[in-house]
Amino acid sequence: MTAALTSATTPPTVRRVRHETRIRPLEVTAVDRLTPHMIRIALRGDDMADFISASPDDHLKVLIDGPEGERQMRDYTPRRFSCEDQTLLLDFAVHDAGPATQWALDARPGDQLNIGGPRGSRIIEGDIRNWLLIGDETALPAIGRRIEEASADTQFTTVIAIPGPDDRQTFDTAAKVNSVWIYRPVADAAKAEPFMKVIEDVTVTDDTFVWIAAEGLVTRGLRQHFLDTRQHPPNWLKAAGYWVKGQADTTESFE
C-alpha cells in the first residue's frame, strides 16, 4: 500500500492558540449508537455562542459526578460543532467501564452534562496534501473530523484498529481516503503488534504528515518506528497517547 506522492511546498508548523475556558452546561438532545463500540451524543446549550474548537484533535473536559459526589474529568474530542444551532457532537468510545463511558451508555435526551474547554488548540499549518492517520477507536473522532474538514485536493491513508468489522465508520468528505482497518479485541488495544504488521507495508514519503493517537505505549512504539527506523522528518509527525493502560484520566504527550 503506497501513499500518494505529491510535493509539499511548505514544511508544516504547529501554531498554538489559547482559548478562554469556563464550565458550560449542556443538555442531551440525541443519542446514537453509531457502532457497537461508539456512541454519538448531541448536546446543546445557550452558552455555546462563543465556543471555539480550532483543530480536529482538540480536546475538552467532560465533567462527571462520581459515586461519592466527587467531580471526575475525562478528555474528549469535539467531533462537530454547529454555530447555527449551538449543537456539539461528542463520540464516546466504549472501551472501558469508566465514569464518562458509563454516563454515555446511560444517557438519554434531556440529561445534563457540563463541559470545560477546549483551553487551547494546536493547529497544524502548511501545504500538506498527504496524511497518514494512525489510531485506535479513541482516535476515531479526531480522525473523522480531520478527514471531513479537508479539501478535495487532500489525500488520506488511515490505519485504524477497532474490535471488529461492525465498528468501521464512513466519513462525509471531498478528500480522497484509503482506509485500512485492523480488527483486534478490546483486550489487545494496548498492543502495538497489530499496527506494526500493517505499517511496515505502508510507503510514506517525506511530504506525508504522520499523525498517531492510541494507547500511550502503542503510540510511543509507532512514533519511534517512524522517527528512528524510517528517519521520517520530525516536523512531519505528531503523536499523542490518548489513554494509558491501567491509569484513569491519563494521557501522554510526545512534544
What CATH number does the domain containing 69 carry? 2.40.30.10
Is the pLDDT at 246 greater than 80, yes or no?
A: no
pLDDT for residue 254: 74
* Per-residue confidence band for 248, with pLDDT thresholds at 50, 70 and 90: confident
> Both 153 and 201 in a single domain?
yes
> Both 150 and 200 in a single domain?
yes
> Both 156 and 188 in a single domain?
yes
Please state, rounded to an integer, the average pLDDT across all residues of the chain. Answer: 93
Average pLDDT over residues 27-43: 98
Cell of 104: 454515555
Half-sphere exposure of 157 (CA within 13 A, CB side): 17
6 occurs within a structural domain: no
7 occurs within a structural domain: no
Which domain, by its residues, includes 32? 16-120
Average pLDDT over residues 3-14: 62
How many whole angstroms separate alpha carbon 142 and alpha carbon 18?
A: 19
Average pLDDT over residues 228-234: 96
Residues 55-77: tens digit of each pLDDT: 999 999 999 987 777 889 999 99
Residues 140-167: tens digit of each pLDDT: 999 999 999 999 999 999 999 999 999 9
Of 120, 151, 179, the residue that ends a domain is: 120
Question: How many domains are contained in the chain?
Answer: 2
pLDDT for residue 7: 44
Q: Which of 77, 27, 20, 25 shows the shortest CA–CA distance to 51? A: 20
> Both 245 and 153 in a single domain?
yes
10 occurs within a structural domain: no
Hunting for cell 478562554 — which residue is that?
Answer: 20
Write the single-letter amino acid at 229: T
Is the pLDDT at 4 greater than 70, yes or no?
A: no
Of 86, 120, 154, the residue that ends a domain is: 120
178 occurs within a structural domain: yes
pLDDT for residue 143: 99
pTM for the model? 0.93
> Both 138 and 216 in a single domain?
yes
* Per-residue confidence band for 11, with pLDDT thresholds at 50, 70 and 90: confident
9 occurs within a structural domain: no
Is the pLDDT at 6 greater than 70, yes or no?
A: no
How many whole angstroms separate alpha carbon 163 and alpha carbon 30?
A: 25
* Per-residue confidence band for 82, with pLDDT thresholds at 50, 70 and 90: very high
> Both 136 and 230 in a single domain?
yes
62 occurs within a structural domain: yes
Q: Which of 181, 179, 209, 208 shows the shortest CA–CA distance to 194? A: 181
Average pLDDT over residues 123-129: 95
pLDDT for residue 2: 41
Is the pLDDT at 8 greater than 70, yes or no?
A: no
> Both 63 and 26 in a single domain?
yes
Half-sphere exposure of 18 (CA within 13 A, CB side): 1
2 occurs within a structural domain: no
Radius of gyration of the chain from its Cα atoms, rounded to whole angstroms: 18
* Per-residue confidence band for 171, with pLDDT thresholds at 50, 70 and 90: very high
> Both 107 and 201 in a single domain?
no
> Both 34 and 109 in a single domain?
yes
Q: Report the CATH number that the domain containing residue 156 is assigned in CATH.
A: 3.40.50.80
> Both 128 and 74 in a single domain?
no
3 occurs within a structural domain: no
Of 72, 96, 120, the residue that ends a domain is: 120
* Per-residue confidence band for 245, with pLDDT thresholds at 50, 70 and 90: confident
* Per-residue confidence band for 9, with pLDDT thresholds at 50, 70 and 90: low
> Both 114 and 190 in a single domain?
no
> Both 148 and 196 in a single domain?
yes
* Per-residue confidence band for 1, with pLDDT thresholds at 50, 70 and 90: very low
